[in-house]
């Protein structure tokens, strides 16, 4: 690695950093998508539910008096989660493009040495 130029060493470091960022963003996106699906299932079950409904607050279950407000809050949370997921998708796309560009640059430079 001593015969590699400082510029190439810097590009390799950027490549590794971009790879780590891409993995972190991808993991975060997968987790948020799972949370969003869970919220959507909860919303569907709330629609079907008859009788008393309870919501979790920490380690407590609290009886819900206003089912419509709970549904509206849940729908808003789903919408917010969707916005976050889309933001992560954009970030992931940008990082993937940078990753591929750096990979190509490094491969060309390594092929020339």
Exposed/middle/buried for residue 18 (C-beta within 10 Å: 0-12, 13-18, 19+):
buried
Smallest CA-to-CA distance from 105 within 9, 11, 22 is with 11
Give, for all 113 residues of the chain, the pLDDT tens digit.
557 888 999 999 999 999 999 999 999 999 999 999 999 999 999 999 888 999 988 999 999 999 999 999 999 999 999 999 999 999 999 999 999 999 999 999 888 65
**Domains with residue ranges and CATH for the chain:** 6-112 (1.10.287.370)
Residue 88 — φ and ψ, nearest 5°? -65, -35
pTM of this prediction? 0.81
What is the rounded distance in angstroms from the CA atom of residue 64 to the CA atom of residue 71? 11
Smallest CA-to-CA distance from 95 within 10, 34, 29 is with 29
């Amino acid at each position: 690695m001593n015969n590699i130029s400082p510029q190439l060493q810097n590009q390799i470091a950027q490549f590794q950093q971009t790879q780590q960022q891409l993995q972190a963003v991808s993991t975060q996106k997968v987790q948020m998508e799972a949370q969003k699906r869970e919220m959507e299932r909860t919303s569907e079950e709330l629609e079907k539910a008859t009788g008393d409904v309870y919501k979790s607050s920490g380690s407590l279950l609290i009886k819900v008096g206003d089912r419509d407000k709970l549904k509206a809050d849940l729908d808003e949370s789903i919408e917010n989660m969707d916005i976050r997921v889309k933001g992560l998708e954009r970030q992931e796309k940008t990082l993937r493009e940078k990753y591929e560009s750096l990979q190509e640059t490094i491969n060309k430079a390594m092929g020339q040495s």
